[in-house]
Amino acid sequence: MPFLLLIEDDDAIRTGLELALTRQGHRVAAAASGEDGLRLFKEQRPDLIVLDVMLPGIDGFEVCRRIRRTDQLPIILLTARSDDIDVVVGLESGADDYVVKPVQPRVLDARIRAVLRRGERENSDSSAFGSLVIDRSAMTVTKDGQDLQLTPTELRLLLELSRRPGQALSRQQLLRLVWEHDYLGDSRLVDACVQRLRAKVEDVPSAPTLIRTVRGVGYRLDPPS
Amino acid sequence: MPFLLLIEDDDAIRTGLELALTRQGHRVAAAASGEDGLRLFKEQRPDLIVLDVMLPGIDGFEVCRRIRRTDQLPIILLTARSDDIDVVVGLESGADDYVVKPVQPRVLDARIRAVLRRGERENSDSSAFGSLVIDRSAMTVTKDGQDLQLTPTELRLLLELSRRPGQALSRQQLLRLVWEHDYLGDSRLVDACVQRLRAKVEDVPSAPTLIRTVRGVGYRLDPPS
DNA sequence: AGGCTTGTGACACCGCTGTGACAGACGGCG
DNA sequence: CGCCGTCTGTCACAGCGGTGTCACAAGCCT
C-alpha cells in the first residue's frame, strides 16, 4: 500500500484530501507546516510527498529542495492556479509533478499512481549488492545465482533496505515500513528478523558485510563498493 | 528495426525528437497535426505511435480513440506537465504509456522499447513453459503435445500468468485481472483455482514447478530455465 | 434436467513470527 | 587501561497465520 505524506496548511483542504486519499487506498500522514512536514518525512519515510507550495515559514519549494538534497522519492506539488511562475521554479526545485488547486481527489489519486508507477519502473526490475541480486518483479533474491528462500517478512525487510542503499534506517522506521505498525517500547523484533536475514544473505553472518549495524540507530544496507 | 510515427505540432520538438529517435535506431515518420497523423498512420502502418496531446484540430485523445477503434498498436502520449486531466482521460482513451514533456530523448527511447517489449510478449500467439504450450490464437493449452481441457477460468488465469512470466502476481492483482473485481477481505478463491489449474498442468501437483507459490504475495509462472 | 464449473467455508498442517532471556560486544568514562 | 552500562546477537519456544486441500452448494450452459 502506498504511504503518502501530505503537507498542506489549510485545514479544510488537508483533512479533505487526507480522507479522500485514505479512501482510495493509501496510507496517509499529514503535516500542516513545512517544518512539521520535514520532521515527519525523516521519521516516517513515506513513498511519496504531496506538497503545498504556499506554506507559512519554510515554503514548499524550499521543503522540496531540502528533501532532494538527500532523497529521490517522488514529490507532487500543489500550486494555486494563479501562479504562473510556479512551474518553472518547481521544476528547478526538483518536483516530479504538479497539480493545480482546487484539485479533484480522483485526479490527484491518478497522478499519484502515475508517478508511483513511473518510479516503480525505474526502481524495479533488479538491483544488485555484490553477489546478491534482488528481483523485485519475480520477488526473488538470489546469491551467486542461487535462489534464496526468504520468508515474506525477511523479503520485505530486504526490499525496504535495498530501496535506500547506504542509508541507515532506525528500528522505528523499519517497523513502520515492514510491519506497518508503530511500536511502543522497544523489542528485539527487528534485530531478530535482521539476524535471520543475515543468516541467509551474508557470507559470514557473524561478520556481515551487506547489512551493517549502525549502533544506537538501526541498520543499513551497504551499496556495492 | 522499430518503425515509429511521431505526431507533434511544435516544430522544434518534432524535429528534435525525430533526429534523436533516428539516432537511437528507430525508423521515424513524423506528422505535424492530428489529421496528417491519421493519414500517415493508415498509409504507413507504424509499430508504435508517439502522440502529443495538445494538437490543433483533432487533439491527441481523439486521435488515440480513433486509432483504437480499429488497431491495437502501442501508443505513447506526450503530455504537458501542467495539464490536470490528462492522465485520467488518457487512460480512458486507451494509451499505453505517458511521457511528460519536456522529455529527454533517451527516456522516451527507454519507454518506447519497454512498451514494444511488453507488446511482443502479449501478442505473440504461443509461448512454451517446459512441456506446456499455450496457443493464444487457438486458445488451447497442450502438455507433452496432449490437449488439456481447461475450464474458462483456469484458462484465463493461466493466460494472465503467462503474459508476465517470472513475475509474481498478488492475489489482489489476479482477482482484478481474471475475475475483474476487487475483493474485500480475503478468500480462498484464487488458491482454489490455482489448485485446480495445477492439477492439470503440473507433473506433480503437490510439488509444482511451473506455478510457484510466492509466500506472502501470491503466485508466479516460472519461465523455462 | 443434468453435468460441469465455480465460489465458499472448514480444517489441518507447517513454517513463520514475535517474545523473552541471556550472553557477549561495544563504547564511554573515570 | 579497566570497569560498567547499554546495546546488540543469538536462541528456543509457543502462538499464529498463511496455504493446501477438500467437500458442498449454487450457478451456468447445453
Query: What tens digit of pLDDT does each residue of B3-37 get?
Result: 999 999 988 888 888 888 888 889 999 999 999 99
Mean pLDDT along residues B151-180: 85
| Distance (Å, whole) CA B151 – CA B219 | 19
Residue B24 sits in a domain whose CATH number is: 3.40.50.2300
Residue B169: is its pLDDT beyond 60?
yes
In the listed set A100, A117, A134, which residue is the last one of a domain according to the structure?
A: A117
**Average pLDDT of the segment spanning A175-185:** 75
Are residues B46 and B130 part of one domain?
A: no
Window from A162-166, B48-52, B151-155, B190-194 with minimum mean pLDDT: A162-166
Asked whether residue B106 falls in the same domain as residue B135, the answer is no
Which chain A residues are within 8 Å of B82, Cβ to Cβ?
87, 98, 100
CA distance B169 to chain A (A): 8
The domain in which residue A106 lies consists of 3-117
pTM: 0.66
Q: Is the pLDDT of residue B220 over 90?
A: yes
Predicted confidence band at B177 (pLDDT cuts at 50, 70, 90)?
A: confident
Query: What residue is closest to C15 (Cα–C1')?
Result: A151
CA to C1' distance (Å), from B189 to D26: 15
* pLDDT number for residue B31: 94
* pLDDT range class, residue B69, cuts 50, 70, 90: confident
Residues B16 and B83 in one domain: yes
Last residue of a domain, one of B117, B138, B155: B117
β-sheet bridge partners, residue B31? B7
Domain count, chain B: 2
What does the alpha-carbon distance between residue A75 and residue A98 come to, in Å, rounded to a whole number? 9
State which of B64, B85, B117 marks the end of a domain.
B117
Q: Which one is predicted more confidently, A95 or A52?
A: A52
Residues B82, B84, B88, B90, CA torsion sign: negative
- Averaged pLDDT, B177-200: 81
Residues ≥6 apart with Cβ < 8 Å to A21 = A4, A6, A28, A105, A108, A109, A112
C-alpha dist (Å) from residue A179 to A154, A172, A173, B111, B189: 11, 10, 10, 34, 26
Contact of A155 with chain B, judged by CB distance below 8 Å, is answered with: yes
Question: B119-165 pLDDT, tens per residue?
Answer: 666 666 778 888 899 988 788 899 988 888 899 999 989 988 888 78
Which range of A10-14, B72-76, B123-127, B169-173 scores highest in mean pLDDT? It is A10-14
Task: Give the CATH number of the domain where residue B134 resides.
Answer: 1.10.10.10
pLDDT averaged over every residue in chain A: 83
- Flag whether pLDDT at A6 surpasses 90: yes
Q: Are residues A9 and A92 in the same domain?
A: yes
pLDDT exceeds cutoff 90 at B180? no
Q: Which of B28, B34, B30 is nearest to B11 (CA)?
A: B30
Q: Indicate whether A111 and A27 sit together in one domain.
A: yes
